[in-house]
Structure 1
Amino acid sequence: MEKLPKIALPAIFIGVVVLIIVFKSTVTIGSGEAGVLYKTFGGGVVTDESPMGEGFHFVAPWNDVFIYEVRQQEVFEKMKVLSSNGLEIKIDASAWFQPIYGKLGKLHQEKGEDYTQRVLLPAIRSAARSVVGRYTPEQLYASKRDAIQEEIYTETENIVDDQYIQLNEILVRDVTLPPSIKDAIERKLKQEQESLEYEFRLTKATKEAERQKIEAEGKARANRILSESLTDKVLQEKGIQATLELARSNNAKTVIIGGGETGMPIILNDK
């Protein structure tokens, strides 16, 4: 085997070094990501320029690029907090968030890559403790879940507002009460429902009785007015009018004038 020329080994060494330098001098940033440039000999983290966007980039081999996901993300948190009367409540919540793109350098410099653990989750826990502590278990169970979700979001947003994090939403997925408290609340709600149902039936029956009473009084008043208006002369006049109508009828009949106790005509069929 022939020996390599003396220049070959240095050439190979230089080639390897060049490849390493080229490899260290390029970075590819994926979709939904951005890069924070760290200049080893130029002041450290670059905070006064926009982050490096998606795609292929050349950087000096002695510098570093820290890649962050900048699209919306979600973190989950299970918490144990106390209600206003000191009972332990379990809350299962999640947060939708993303780093503020233009502040990515500041976020990296001050909070670091694990900013969700350092900033966001502690903020959510603090807000949840503060909000839930205002309510009783009955309120949390019955009607306040949407309210505490909004309040936790507002308080968390206030905490992270100057922490270079954009909070999009807080979702309270579950509120778990102690079993004994939950059972007691359910029994109370059932009793209240039964009481409301009984009151409804009672009110309905009372209104129906009042309606019947008013209807009966109306009928009695109408009958009284009608009775007072029907004098003997009126009745005789009505009878005469009816007799005349019958007399004009084509039906065969016999009319006896002045018949009966009242002197009203008596009508007899001839059949």
Structure 2
Amino acid sequence: MKKKFIYLIALVVLSSSCAVVRPGEAGVKQTLGKFSKTISTQGTIFYNPFTSRVIKESTQTNNIKLILSLPTKEGLSVNSEISILYRLEQDKIPSILENLGQGYESIITSVFRSASSDVCAQFYAKDMHSGMRAKIEEEIKAKMLVNLEKQADGIELIAVLMKSIQLPRGLASSIEQKLQAEQDAMRMEFIIQQAKLEADRKIIEATAERDSQKILAEGLTEEIIKLRSIEAFNKLSQSPNSKVIITDGKAPLLINE
């Protein structure tokens, strides 16, 4: 019975003195407050539970979600859902934990708030609801990278995404009306362009017809007209139908009986 008790205690101590690091994680041993430079990425880490502990951090891409009110150039406030994608550089995890602790996400959030306020204040509210959004996101990211290098070296910023942007009601309505007006103007421009093309086509056809008539008129000399009259009389003479031909000798006029 005593041996079983000893084995049980030994099992409890052994289980509490090891940590399992799974794929996508990195484990760092902290002994008496000092972080080890050795980083474990997979497997089991044994340690003395009385003097040490193992801190595990994700090495995968992480997402911080925020809902903020962002300032604009005209002094309005635009509500937006924000996603900050980041990843910890594996070899710098001990340094991050030593300098920032495990609350490093609060540093990333603070850096974002500062950078987004500075950048968004340079753009109009309508820009956040248009193709300018990608430019705003890139400028926020660039400004965050500068600040993170000073405060939190080892945090890799992947992207800053602005989602579900909610403009002030009056401004949203104005933007919709403007977009509708632009679409109507584009539609009218298309109609006018089609009408111009149709007018050009008719002018070209009329010009071609006029030139054709002119060429034909210039080619109809008296000799040709007489020749055509003779040919017409010959064809009429071969017709079995009886006809009355009235002519002045220049051009025939046919009357059906």
Return the TM-score normalized by structure 2.
Answer: 0.81
Q: Distance in 2 between matches of 1:155 and 1:141?
A: 21
Check the 8 A contact 1:93/1:172 in 2, yes or no.
yes
* Residue of structure 1 equivalent to 2:210: 220
- Once the 2 structures are TM-superposed, how far is the Cα of residue 100 of structure 1 from its aligned partner? 0.9
* Residue of structure 1 equivalent to 2:27: 35
Bigger proportion of residues as strand: 2
Check the 8 A contact 1:35/1:68 in 2, yes or no.
yes
Structure 2 counterparts to residues 5-16 of structure 1, below 5 A? none
* Residue of structure 1 equivalent to 2:118: 130
Say if 1:186 and 1:266 are closer, same or farther in 2 by CA, change over 3 A: closer
Q: Which amino acid aligns with 1:216?
A: A
Q: Which amino acid aligns with 2:206?
A: A
* Residue of structure 2 equivalent to 1:90: 79
Say if 1:13 and 1:232 are closer, same or farther in 2 by CA, change over 3 A: closer
Residues 137-172 of structure 1 deviation map (CA, whole Å, 9 limit, x = unaligned)? 222223222332333333333333452112222222
Q: Distance in 2 between matches of 1:174 and 1:266?
A: 85
132, 141, 147: which is aligned to 2:135? Answer: 147
- The higher radius of gyration belongs to 1
Say if 1:64 and 1:236 are closer, same or farther in 2 by CA, change over 3 A: same
Residues 24-57 of structure 1 deviation map (CA, whole Å, 9 limit, x = unaligned)? 43222233222111122xx7112x33x1222222
* Residue of structure 1 equivalent to 2:200: 210
Say if 1:229 and 1:54 are closer, same or farther in 2 by CA, change over 3 A: same
Say if 1:263 and 1:81 are closer, same or farther in 2 by CA, change over 3 A: closer
Q: Which amino acid aligns with 2:142?
A: T
Q: What percentage of residue pairs aligned between the two structures are identical?
A: 23
Q: Which amino acid aligns with 1:157?
A: L
- Once the 2 structures are TM-superposed, how far is the Cα of residue 180 of structure 1 from its aligned partner? 0.7
Q: Which amino acid aligns with 1:94?
A: S
- Once the 2 structures are TM-superposed, how far is the Cα of residue 77 of structure 1 from its aligned partner? 0.9
Give unpaired runs (5+ residues) of structure 1: none
Say if 1:248 and 1:101 are closer, same or farther in 2 by CA, change over 3 A: farther
Q: Which amino acid aligns with 2:207?
A: E
* Residue of structure 2 equivalent to 1:192: 182
Residues 181-224 of structure 1 deviation map (CA, whole Å, 9 limit, x = unaligned)? 11111112222222332233233323322332332233123212
* Residue of structure 2 equivalent to 1:45: 35
> Does residue 1:115 correspond to 2:104, yes or no?
yes
Check the 8 A contact 1:124/1:152 in 2, yes or no.
yes
Say if 1:242 and 1:24 are closer, same or farther in 2 by CA, change over 3 A: same
Say if 1:21 and 1:216 are closer, same or farther in 2 by CA, change over 3 A: same
* Residue of structure 2 equivalent to 1:233: 223
- Once the 2 structures are TM-superposed, how far is the Cα of residue 115 of structure 1 from its aligned partner? 0.7
Q: Distance in 1 between matches of 2:103 and 2:166?
A: 29
Query: In structure 2, the residue corresponding to 1:45 is in which secondary structure?
Result: strand
Q: Which amino acid aligns with 1:146?
A: A
Aligned residues: 254
Superposed CA RMSD: 3.3
Q: Distance in 1 between matches of 2:252 and 2:213?
A: 27
Return the TM-score normalized by structure 1.
Answer: 0.78
- Once the 2 structures are TM-superposed, how far is the Cα of residue 73 of structure 1 from its aligned partner? 1.6
Check the 8 A contact 1:253/1:267 in 2, yes or no.
no
* Residue of structure 2 equivalent to 1:99: 88
